[in-house]
Amino acid sequence: MFTLKPIAVCISMLTIAPAAQAQAPQLGQPIAPADITPWDISIGPDGAGLPPGRGTAIEGEAIYVAKCQACHGEKGERPKVALAGALVGGIGTLAPDKTPIKTVGSFWPYATTLFDYVRRAMPFQDTKSLTADEVYAVSAYILHLNGIIGPNDVIDAHSLPEVRMPNRDGFIPFPRNPK
Amino acid sequence: MIRKTHPELVDPAAGNGILSRRVFLEGTLVVGATAAGLSCGSAEPLAVQPWMKVPGTGFAGYGQPSPFESKVVKVFPPPPNPPGVGSSRTPLHMLEGMITPSGLHFERSHSGVPEIDPDQHRLVIHGLVKRPLVFTLEALSRYPMQSRIAFIECGGNSLALNAPQAQPLNVAAIHGLLGCSEWTGVRLSTLLDEAGIEPEARWVIAEGADAAAMSRSIPLTKAMDDALLCLYQNGERVRPSNGYPLRLLLPGFEGNMNVKWLRRLKLTAGPAMTKDETSKYTILLKDEKAWQFVFPIEVKSVITRPSPGLALRDPGFYEISGLAWSGNGSIRQVDVSADGGRSWAPAALQGPILPKAPVRFRTAWQWNGGPAVLQSRATDDTGMVQPTRAQFAAERGFRGVYHYNAIASWRIDEMGEVSNVYA
What's the pLDDT band for A179 if we cut at 50, 70, 90? confident
Residue B3 has pLDDT above 50, yes or no: no
Nearest chain A residue to B196, by CA:
A21
- Confidence category of residue B30, pLDDT binned at 50, 70, 90: low
Contact B244, B289 (CB under 8 A): no
Burial of B245 (0-12, 13-18, 19+ CB in 10 A): buried
Q: For residue B342, how many other CB atoms are within 10 A of its CB?
A: 12
Strand partners, B179: B152
Residue B258 has pLDDT above 60, yes or no: yes
Strand duo B409-412 + B372-380: pairing: antiparallel
> Smallest CA–CA separation between B222 and chain A, in Å?
9
Exposed/middle/buried for residue A76 (C-beta within 10 Å: 0-12, 13-18, 19+): buried
What is the per-residue pLDDT for B267?
Answer: 98
Contacts of A110 in chain B (CB under 8 A): 273, 278
* B246: pLDDT strictly greater than 80: yes
Percent of chain B with pLDDT over 90: 90
Band of pLDDT at residue B28, cut at 50, 70 and 90: low
- pLDDT for B404 equals 98
Query: Which residues of chain B have a CB within 8 Å of the CB of A135?
Result: none
Distance, CA of A70 to CA of A83 (rounded, Å): 13
**pLDDT above 90: percentage of residues in chain A:** 82
pLDDT band at residue B29 using 50, 70 and 90 as cut-offs: low
pLDDT at site B40:
67
Residue B62 in 3-state DSSP? coil
- Cα diameter, chain A: 87
Q: Are strands B316-325 and B331-337 parallel, antiparallel or unpaired?
A: unpaired
Q: What is the pTM for the complete model shown?
A: 0.93
For chain B, domain boundaries: 122-283, 300-421
Output the pLDDT for position B25. 74
Count CB pairs under 8 A between chains A and B.
171
- Under a CB-based contact definition with an 8 Å cutoff, are residues A31 and B133 in contact? yes
Query: Using 50, 70 and 90 to split pLDDT, how confident is the model at B311?
Result: very high
Q: How confident is the model at residue A14 (pLDDT cuts 50, 70, 90)?
A: very low
Which residues of chain A are within 8 Å of residue B328 when distances are taken between CB atoms?
178
What is the model's pLDDT at position B423?
93
The overall average pLDDT reported for chain B is 94
Residue percentage of chain A with pLDDT more than 70 = 88
Mutation site for A-interface testing, chosen from B134, B135, B261, B278 by largest number of A Cβ within 10 Å: B278
A79 vs B contacts (CB less than 8 Å):
none
pLDDT of residue B10: 67
Q: What angle do CA A32, A36, A38 make, to 5 degrees?
A: 145
Residue B191 sits at the chain A interface (C-beta within 8 Å): yes
The predicted-structure confidence for A126-177, as pLDDT tens digits, reads as follows: 999 999 999 999 999 999 999 999 999 999 999 999 999 999 999 999 999 9
**Domain limits of chain A?**
53-162
- Interatomic CA distance for residues B360 and B322, integer angstroms: 6
Residues 384-403 of B with CB under 8 A from A: 399
pLDDT of amino acid A110: 98
Beta bridge partners of B334: B378
Tell me what pLDDT residue A8 has: 39
Chain B residue nearest residue A170, CA to CA: B289
pLDDT on residue B77: 82
* CATH 1.10.10.10 at B300-421, yes or no: no
Q: Which ipTM did the prediction report? A: 0.91
Give the right CATH number for B122-283 from 3.90.230.10, 3.90.420.10, 3.30.360.10, 2.60.40.1120: 3.90.420.10
Those residues whose C-beta lies under 8 Å from the C-beta of residue B416, and which sit 6 or more positions away, are B311, B312, B313, B314, B367, B369
- Closest approach of B337 to chain A, Cα-based (Å): 28
Specify whether the CB–CB gap between B228 and B186 falls below 8 A: yes
Does the fold of domain B300-421 match that of domain B122-283? Answer: no
Which residue, B306, B65, B78, B77, is CA-closest to B171? B306
pLDDT band at B36 (very low <50, low <70, confident <90, very high): very low
A170 to B288: CB separation less than 8 angstroms, yes or no: yes
Count of CB atoms within 10 A of residue A37's CB? 10
Out of A29, A44, A124, name the one closest to residue B272 (CB): A44
Residues of B in Cβ contact (< 8 Å) with A95: 288
Return the residue in A21, A26, A37, A42 with the most chain B beta carbons within 10 A, the one to mutate for interface testing: A42
- pLDDT reading at A82 higher than 90: no
Q: Classify strands B122-127 and B262-268 as parallel, antiparallel or unpaired.
A: parallel
Whether residue A98 is predicted with pLDDT greater than 80 in this model: the reply is yes
Cβ–Cβ gap A107/B286 under 8 Å: no
pLDDT of residue B85: 82
Question: Which architecture does CATH list for A53-162?
Answer: Orthogonal Bundle (1.10)
Strand order from edge to edge, sheet including B203-208:
A29-30, B133-136, B122-127, B262-268, B203-208, B215-219
Task: Name the minimum distance, in Å, from the CA of B291 to any CA of chain A.
Answer: 5
Q: How far apart are CA A143 and CA A55, in angstroms?
A: 12
Contact B86, B61 (CB under 8 A): no
Q: In this complex, which of A94, A95, A109 lies closest to B278 when CB atoms are compared?
A: A109
Q: What percent of chain B has pLDDT over 70?
A: 94
Mean pLDDT along residues B120-132: 98
Interchain contact B76–A (C-beta under 8 A): no
